[in-house]
Amino acid sequence: MDKNKKLQELNNTMHALCACTLKETATHVVPGKGNADAQIMFIGEAPGAKEDSLGEPFVGAAGKFLSELLATIDLKREDIYITNVVKYRPPNNRDPLPEEVSDCWLWLQEQVKLIDPILIVPLGRHALERFVPKKRISADHGKAFRRTVDGLGERVYYALYHPAAALYNGGLRQTLFDDFARIPKIIAQIEKERK
């Protein structure tokens, strides 16, 4: 079976099985979107209002900025896979609770295992904490970490500010452009090390 089809089946199954209580208040599940054969997987925090109404990740203002950032390194949404740590919108866009993150964790693990990207980009502190704990986004953005995460083997994680952060703090816009510009070099380095 084609990988995109497998991913769709995985998302359907996990939605049925997921015990996350945010399911009760969300309008739509937001499993993720993009290419199952992607080299890079971006992982945000949780769906917001627009994502909840459309069932797709990063379709609001932060998503528009993310597309702009991707274009600077010649990538389109179709080239990557994008999802969130939590697959249902928390009420009033509050931070996801630890139990909501852990209830959605098996789903995210299975997505990573199936897509098997060579680089994972956690966007913002919630996603970073799940994969590379005890880091500070303000100090560690723009840094790559090689880490073994339970069930996922050893992988490379590249910490970035969440694009929404730049909508509130304009000073972070340039930081995100600069950090994004390093992605092609990081990918090239990972590919070289794999040969």
From CA 148, how far away is CA 144, in angstroms rounded?
A: 13
77 versus 189: smaller Cβ distance to ligand URA: 77
62: contact with ligand URA by CB under 6 A: yes
Angle between helices 171-181 and 61-72 (to 10 degrees): 40
96: contact with ligand URA by CB under 6 A: no
- The least CB distance from residue 26 to ligand URA, in Å, is 12
Bridging pattern class, strands 40-44 and 33-34: unpaired
- The least CB distance from residue 51 to ligand URA, in Å, is 4
51: contact with ligand URA by CB under 6 A: yes
The residue with tokens 């090239």 is 188
Segment contacting ligand URA by CB under 6 A, of 56-64, 72-80, 141-149, 177-185: 56-64
58: contact with ligand URA by CB under 6 A: yes
Judged by CB under 6 A, the residue of 31, 44, 96, 117 near ligand URA is 44
45: contact with ligand URA by CB under 6 A: yes
How far from the centroid of its chain's Cα atoms is residue 5's Cα?
A: 20
From CA 79, how far away is CA 37, in angstroms rounded?
A: 8
Report the residue number whose CB is nearest to ligand URA. Answer: 44
From CA 35, how far away is CA 148, in angstroms rounded?
A: 24
Judged by CB under 6 A, the residue of 31, 48, 96, 117 near ligand URA is 48
Segment contacting ligand URA by CB under 6 A, of 57-65, 97-105, 112-120, 179-187: 57-65
Where in 123-182 is the site for ligand URA (CB under 6 A)?
164
- Positions in the binding site for ligand URA (CB under 6 A): 44-48, 51, 57-58, 60, 62, 84, 164
